[in-house]
Amino acid sequence: METHISCLFPEILAIIFSYLDIKDKGRVAQVCAAWRDASYHKSVWRGVEAKLHLRRANPSLFPSLQTRGIKKVQILSLRRSLSYVIQGMPHIESLNLCGCFNLTDNGLGHAFVQDIPSLRVLNLSLCKQITDSSLGRIAQYLKNLEVLELGGCSNITNTGLLLIAWGLHRLRSLNLRSCRHVSDVGIGHLSGMTRSAAEGCLSLEKLTLQDCQKLTDLSLKHVSKGLNKLKVLNLSFCGGISDAGMIHLSHMTHLCSLNLRSCDNISDTGIMHLAMGSLQLSGLDVSFCDKIGDQSLAYIAQGLYQLKSLSLCSCHISDDGINRMVRQMHELKTLNIGQCVRITDKGLELIADNLTQLTEIDLYGCTRITKRGLERITQLPCLKVLNLGLWQMTESERVRSRGSGKQTL
C-alpha cells in the first residue's frame, strides 16, 4: 500500500508547513482544500509579521490574518486610515509604521481612541509629521507598550517625553535617534527626576539617544540615578557629552553595551572613568573618537577586560596599545580596528597570539599591514569573518585559502 502526503494528518502537515518561508506558506494554501486548512493552523504562522500595502478596501484581509493567528503587522504604504488596521485587528501585538511619511497626528488620533492592551511594540520611525500630541494618545491608550521606536521623529520635544514618562511605565526599549529637540530636561522626565509630574520609565532596558545634539553630561547623571535596569545605551554622535559624564555611567552595574561612536569630547580620561567603576560591559564602541589613544587600551585591559566586543575604528591607537591590551582580553570575540592606520603586522601578530577567541575582526583601511600579518590572523582558530574592505572573508574561504597556502585579499 502506497503512502501519499495527502494521507498525513493535518497536524503533521502544519508542522511541515511551519518550516516554509512566508511566500511558500501562502502557496501551499492554494494546492487543495486539505492543505489550505492545514496551512491556516496558527502554529504555521507563529511569530510571522504580515507586511501590507493599505491601498484599497479588502474585506477578507484582516479576518484571514486573525484566522491564522497573525498579530504582528508592518504597514509598507498607508493610503487608508490607520483606524482600518486597529479595528480589523483588535488583538494586535506589534505595529510597524516605519517610513509612513504621510501619517499625521490626526490619523493616529482617529486610530487610538480606546485602550489597546495587547499592543506591545510600536514603530513610528521616520514618521516625521508625528508630534507630542500623538505621544499623548499613545501614553493614554497603550499602557502595556514595551517597545517604542521614534527614530527620526524630529518634532518630538521634552513635553512628549514627559507624556511617555507619565503613561508608559512598562516600556523596556525606547529609540529617540535624531530627536533634535530633546534635551536634558526630557531625559530627566524619563528617569523619574520629576516625580511630581511623572513617575518615569524606570523599567527601561534599552535607550537609544543617537544624534541627540542637545544632551549634556546632566542627562547621563539623570540616567545613572533613575534608570537602574538599563542594559543598552547608545550615545553615538552626541557631541555634548564629555569625559565627566562617564563618571556617572561607571557605576551602572546592569549596563552591558555602551555606544560612544563619534562622541568628539570622549578621550582617554573618559575611558579611565569607565574602567575604574563597577561596570560589567560586554560591548563598547568608541569608533571615530579622535581623542582615544593607546592609554585607553591600557585602561580597558585593567578594568574592562570582560568585553566581548570592542570597536576602535579610526582611533589613534598603535601596536603599543594593542600590546598593552591583548593579554587581558581573554573573552574578546569581536574587534573592529578599521582605519587605525598606525597598526602594523606586529599588532596583528600580538592579536593572533593572544586573542584566541576572536570570531570577527575588521581591518578595513589598515594601510600598514601586509600579507605576513594577515597570514597570522587567518590562523586564529575561531575566526569566521575577516573584513578587509568592501567584501568579507568567510570561514569557508579562510579554510580554502589555508588549504591552498594562499590568502584571498
The CATH T-level fold of domain 243-408 is 3.80.10
Q: Where are the domains of the chain?
A: 1-46, 48-241, 243-408
Specify the pLDDT at position 406: 31
Give the β-pairing of 385-387 and 392-393: antiparallel
Cβ atoms of 383 and 355 within 8 Å: the answer is no
- Interatomic CA distance for residues 357 and 111, integer angstroms: 51
Residues contacting 132, CB < 8 A, separation 6+: 155, 156, 157, 159, 160, 163
CATH topology of domain 48-241: 3.80.10
Share of the chain above pLDDT 90, in %: 73
pLDDT of residue 11: 72
Round the CA-based radius of gyration of the chain to a whole number and report it.
25
The answer to whether 162 and 186 are in contact (CB under 8 A) is yes
Question: In this predicted model, what pLDDT tens digit does every residue of 84-135 receive, in sequence order?
Answer: 899 888 899 999 999 999 999 999 999 999 999 999 999 999 999 999 999 9
What pTM, to 2 d.p., does this model score?
0.88
Task: Write the class of the CATH domain 1-46.
Answer: mainly alpha
Asked if the domains 1-46 and 243-408 are classified in one and the same CATH topology, the answer is: no
For residue 3, what pLDDT is reported? 65
State which residues of the chain have pLDDT below 50: 390-393, 397-409
Q: What does the pLDDT read at residue 2?
A: 61
Residue pointed to by grid coordinates 512598562: 170
